[in-house]
Amino acid sequence: MMVIWGCNDDDQSPEQVNLLFTEDNLAGDWKRMAEFKGRPNDSLGLSEPTEDLFAQFENCRKDDIIRYVKATQQEGNTYFWGIGEVACHNQIANSFIEIGTWTIQESGKLNRFYSDVGEPYIVVLLTGKQLRIRKESGTKEPEGVIYEFTEYVRSK
């Protein structure tokens, strides 16, 4: 007779658990914490990046925020771009501007629309505290496809 025990990882906090790709789980404020080019054929952004794009940003762009607001009955989902605590020249700290609308599918496909232009992304990680997205298409190189990733930490 074989007995199989289930393992419950009590050390894993709710903020670290992978969430379903739904509007409710994505809605909120997300502060950018990283932007990088991944390794060839690494569609999840798990390997050491080939290029740290975030390090090249001005300090005033490193704490930018994206806000996903779930739809009301009258309107669609909207997203906003926010300036963090450190504002660049001619910007106002802690301010937001509406950019467009968004949708998310259970598969992880995230579409952001602005001025009749769609930007397709893939959500590769969504927890209570962390979000990692990549552009849907990457750059084809001889070694394989290279994707650009952006990571966020939930700020609200």
Q: What is the pTM of this model?
A: 0.84
In this model, does residue 5 exceed pLDDT 50? no
CATH number at 14-154: 2.40.128
Q: DSSP letter string over the chain? A: ---------TTS-GGGSPPPS-HHHH-EEEEEEEEEE--TT-TT--SPPSEESGGGS-GGGTT-EEEEE---SSS--EEEEE--SSPPTT--TT-EEEEEEEEE-TTSEEEEEETTEEEEEEEEEE-SSEEEEEESS-EEETTEEE-EEEEEEE--
Q: pLDDT at position 11, please?
A: 55
pLDDT tens profile 91-132? 999 999 999 999 999 999 999 999 888 899 999 999 999 999
Q: Over pLDDT 70: what percentage of the chain? A: 90
